[in-house]
Amino acid sequence: MSEKIIGVIEEITIKPGNTNGKDWKRYAFRISGKTYSSFDEKVEGFKIGDSVEVEYLTKDNYHNITSMKLSDGQVPVVQPGTAVPSPMSYKDNTELSIVSQVILKAVADMVCAGKIEQGAFKSNALVLVETYKETKKKLSE
């Protein structure tokens, strides 16, 4: 059964090889700390920092990409070489996951606009997510 993830590309690895005289390339993308891979050249245009929607099949602990596209909430690349935190995964709480994605984009926009320093990206995003979770918990009591 196909699964789906939306996240920011943290790392890309391209490994060329040859099997029985046939050349191939394995494209591996680290998203939210997990690696998703494909031998299809259609995934060549993506870059670190792109927010993507990936459909994949898991077999023998490998996440094989069946489709990959830019997601609607694309997070801008801050600067080359700047680590962009991965989105948080909340499988059982869709609302919190959506809020987390919105917060990550807002903080990335603030970094790009020069309103906060690049090094503060992750800490600012995490503080906002924790504040949201605490507020939500208080409201539900």
Strands (E), 3-110: 3-19, 22-31, 34-38, 51-59, 62-70
Q: How many CB atoms lie within 10 A of CB 43?
A: 22
Q: What is the token pair recorded at 77?
A: 């690349």
For the segment 109-120, what is each residue's pLDDT rounded down to a tens digit? 776 666 666 555
- 125 falls in which pLDDT band (50, 70, 90)? low
Per-residue model confidence (pLDDT) at position 7: 86
Summary mean pLDDT of the chain = 76
Structural contact between residues 54 and 5, judged by C-beta atoms closer than 8 angstroms: yes
Per-residue model confidence (pLDDT) at position 25: 93
Give the ranges where the chain is alpha helix by DSSP (H): 94-112, 121-140
In the block, tokens 């924790």 appear at 130
- Structural domain boundaries in the chain: 3-70, 94-140
Per-residue model confidence (pLDDT) at position 76: 44
**CATH class of the structural domain 3-70:** mainly beta
Per-residue model confidence (pLDDT) at position 64: 95
Between CA 8 and CA 49 the distance in angstroms is 6
For the segment 66-119, what is each residue's pLDDT rounded down to a tens digit? 999 988 754 444 444 545 555 544 444 566 667 667 777 777 777 666 666 655
Q: Which of 26, 28, 32, 27 is nearest to 4 (CA)?
A: 32
Per-residue model confidence (pLDDT) at position 81: 52
For the segment 6-49, what is each residue's pLDDT rounded down to a tens digit? 888 889 999 999 999 999 999 999 998 899 999 999 898 898 88
pTM, to two decimals: 0.52
